[in-house]
Amino acid sequence: MNILEAQGIRKYYRSSAGLFFVTSPVVRAVDGVDLTLEKGKTVGLVGESGCGKSTLARVLIRLEEPTEGSIRLGGADFLALRGGELRKARRRIQMVFQDPYSSLNPRLSIGSTIAEGIRIHKLARGAEVKERVSRLLEKVGLPSSASAKYPHEFSGGQRQRIGIARALAVEPEVLIADEPVSALDVSIRAQIINLLEDLQTEMGLTYLFIAHDLGIVEHVSDVVVVMYCGKVVEQAPTGDIFREPLHPYTAGLIASVPVADPALARARAAIPGDVPSPVNLPSGCAFNPRCPRVMDICRIERPDLIQLGAGRLVRCWIHQKKA
């Protein structure tokens, strides 16, 4: 069962229109993305910084309105909701943020931070609120005494646990984790990842897991979606994509994952160059200036996202010709 279906999501930004009708360039942060989340499963969303992952996440939980596209959450049109109905529906989809420092209000106690959602949605009253907060803290591995403390008394990893508890307080079905561990020490990462996995099994959560570290994505995801310059360039079941990446960009990302044992190190083929400026994308395939297998057509025409086999999608001329 699909719990979230997003279709044709576009989010364009116009850098502020000038006073004298200067046509300002349009930034296509997300440019026509389809995304489906199956209940209880994890979709890993990867790509370099600036590829539109976080913008897509913000559109999906309606922190930003898409320029175009539709989102169905549990079968209902999520984008049509306004006011009280939107507030009610927000319970179903929550987010864990990247930066554990800016994601907690420094002037609110941990208890009030976690209780905020419980109060907004009137899930409990009086002493019961406290009880729920304690249970949530316990669930994320913190003592219930943490409730009276303030964010500065906690480490990055502990803060991330608090952020998870805040999101879980409203009993969501979908949890978007926007690079939840990239700001943490490597030694802490595994703990947070394991916590998220345990919670998924326990509560039947559906995850959209955003990361730029493929190692983590390989570990947690059922399906991997690769984005480049606002577009999906490849999508496949996790096992397939790591065994046989179809898009040269995916191959490059996988090759750049550090390997502990130098004897086993995969052939290094780090992607040369930088992500192009989003206001001035290259013509044809956006990846062509960095692609090791670039062909003439790549510089002229845009490839389409085509299906190759079960659940495998790729946007690349190498495969489109064959198809």
Partner 1 sequence: MSPVEDDPAGARRTQRLWSQGWSRFRKNRFGMAGAGIILVLYLAAALAPMLTPYDPIAQGDVPRMRYVAPCMEHPLGTDKFGRDVLSRVIYGSRISLMIGILAVTIAILLGALVGAAAGYFGGATDAILMRIVDALLAVPRIFLLITCVALFSGSVWLIIVLLGATGWMTTARLVRAQVLSLRNLDYVKAAEALGAGGRSIIWRHVIPNTATVIIVAATLRIGGIILTEASLSFLGLGVPPPTPSWGQMVFEGREALLSAWWLSTFPGIAIAVTVIGFNLLGDALKDAFDPRQFV
Quick note: the x/- pattern for partner 1 over 183-222, rule CB under 8 A, is -xx-xx--x--xx---------------------------
Question: What is the spatial order of strands in the sheet that 223-228 belongs to?
Answer: 93-96, 174-178, 206-211, 42-46, 223-228, 231-237, 313-314, 306-307
Contact indicator for 114, 133 with CB cutoff of 8 Å = yes
4 binds partner 1 (CB under 8 A): no
Question: Taking Cα atoms as reference points, which of 257, 20, 301, 37 lies closest to residue 45?
Answer: 37
Q: Does 157 bind partner 1 (CB under 8 A)?
A: yes
Toward partner 1, which CB reaches closer, 45 or 176? 176
Q: Which of 8, 25, 143, 309 binds partner 1 (CB under 8 A)?
A: 143
Strand ranges, E, within 156-205? 174-178
Give the three-class secondary structure for 19: coil
Other Cβ atoms less than 10 A from the Cβ of 168: the count is 21
- Rounded to the nearest 5 degrees, what angle is found at the Cα of 170, between the Cα atoms of 10 and 66? 10
Compare residues 98 and 288 and give the one whose CB is closer to partner 1: 98
Q: What are the phi and psi torsion angles at 13 (to 5°)?
A: -115, 140
To partner 1, the closest distance from the beta carbon of 288 in angstroms equals 33
**Distance in Å, CB of 132 to partner 1, minimum:** 14
CA gap 3, 172 in Å, rounded = 12
x-marked contacts with partner 1 along 38-77 as a string, rule CB under 8 A: --------------------x--xxx--------------
Q: Which of 31, 51, 97, 230 binds partner 1 (CB under 8 A)?
A: 97
Q: Which of 123, 124, 170, 308 binds partner 1 (CB under 8 A)?
A: 170
Q: How far is the CB of 20 from partner 1 (least distance, A)?
A: 18
Dist CA 104 CA 97 (whole Å): 10
Please, which residue, 156 or 276, has the CB nearer to partner 1? 156
Sheet holding 2-14, edge to edge: 26-38, 2-14, 68-73, 76-77
**155 is an interface residue for partner 1 by CB under 8 A:** yes
Q: Is 43:221 a contact under the CB 8 Å cutoff? A: yes
* Contact status: 151 vs partner 1 (CB under 8 A): yes
Write out the DSSP string of 78-144.
Answer: GGG--HHHHHHHHTTEEEE-S-TTTTS-TTS-HHHHHHHHHHHTT---THHHHHHHHHHHHHTT--G
Binding residue count for partner 1, defined by CB under 8 A: 51
Span from 35-43, 123-131, 158-166, 303-311 in contact with partner 1 (CB under 8 A): 158-166
In angstroms, the CA 177 to CA 21 distance is 40
Between 174 and 314, name the residue whose CB sits nearer to partner 1: 174
Which distant-in-sequence residues (6+ apart) come within 8 Å of 268 by Cβ?
255, 256
- Which residue in the set 82, 125, 152, 322 belongs to the binding site for partner 1 (CB under 8 A)? 152
CA distance linking residue 129 with residue 251, whole number of Å:
49
Complex with partner 1: residue 100 or 284, whichever CB lies closer: 100
Window 275 to 304, contacts with partner 1 (CB under 8 A): none
Q: Which is nearer to partner 1, 111 or 157 (CB)?
A: 157
**Binding of residue 134 to partner 1 (CB under 8 A):** no
Q: Give the binding site for partner 1 (CB under 8 A).
A: 58, 61-63, 86-88, 90-91, 93-95, 97-99, 101-108, 113, 116-117, 120-121, 141-143, 150-158, 163, 166-167, 170, 184-185, 187-188, 191, 194-195
